[in-house]
Amino acid sequence: MASKATIEDRDTITPVYKDDDILAAAARLAGEDMCSIADLTSGEVRATLKLGHDVKRNPREYRHALDAKQMVLMFEKASLRTRLAFETGINTMGGNAIFVDQTSSPLGEREAIADIARNVERWVDVIVLRTYAHDTITEMAANSRVPVINALSDFEHPCQALADFMTLEEHFGSAAGLNFTYVGDGNNVCHSLMLTGAQLGANVTVATPRGYSPDIEIVTKAREIGEANGCELRLLQDPQAAVEGADAVYTDVCVSMGFEHESTKRAPIFRPFQVNDALMQKAAQRAVFMHCLPARRNAEVTDAVLDGPQSIVFDQAENRMHAQKALLLLLLGGLANVPSFQ
């Protein structure tokens, strides 16, 4: 836990002052949706992370940035980090969070999604969704006049990826040129990491079992973005080769929410992809270990790695709040209320 002195020290650091990249992103993104990391340009991803770092260093600068703004979170899936990071984030910037539990009644079941959007947009300033179907998020965005944020769908987890690469920037100074390896299921988290890595100039390697590769549409998009930013994306089926020389090794559960019925089938398939001490030894000496959490201890990752000196999983978790605060500031025009941006 950060000491009082550490928190006070953060507040004394000189804030970003009228940063051109952040201002350009704020001008373009105000009122926009964020359903996918691909909704942001490479410059906007960099600006979001730059703003996230400043929000973290200088929280007092932003404490009235979203005064009276109302945010609704409508979640079909359980959540710890995503919910608390959004709620504490907007609360510490003067706004308010309203949570609507949809775990027993998926969006669109009781009422058409378009009708929900046309109601909710009259009461709140931003809609945050955590859903099973990605189409639920895009349909809400298509029918809402207020910004819609993807807080996780079966296809992407963009808020997680923003926090993850913010954490990498803290540890390495920049993501550009880093060798980032993801080992495990080619799932929603993997998709957003591939896109974000490409936008920031990181070389991304993904190792998955046969039949569990990431979606080809995301692969194609990530490669297009990566080519423009001078980095590459590799897809492998050998975790040993994938981790060789990696600066960051990332994994996730092999059974995502909604796929619990496949647990017995997947367990033996993913066993060779477990991140353990032997696998981490193949990475670069300075390598860090990453996981989006919650982790299934001693399944996709051993306790020795998860709790070891290379693990930065709780830094990632902390940065969920700061990255999401930055995103809210950009989508809701909050920088107009921040002294250092006036």
User: From residue 139, how far is each of 76, 77, 82, 273 by CA, in Å?
Assistant: 15, 18, 21, 36
> Letter for the amino acid at 334?
G
Residues in contact with 296: Cβ distance below 8 Å, sequence separation at least 6, in sequence order: 253
- Per this entry, what is the length of the chain? 342
- Just list the catalytic residues: 130, 157, 160, 252, 292, 320
Output the CA torsion sign for 50, 52, 57, 61: positive
Q: How does DSSP assign 122-180, residue by residue? A: TT-SEEEEE-S-HHHHHHHHHH-SS-EEES--SS--HHHHHHHHHHHHHHHS--TT-EE
**CB atoms closer than 10 angstroms to residue 281:** 10
Q: Are 52 and 331 in contact (CB under 8 A)?
A: no
> Letter for the amino acid at 14?
T
Q: Which of 213, 184, 187 is nearest to 289 (CA)?
A: 184
Backbone angles phi, psi at 32, to 5 degrees: -90, 165
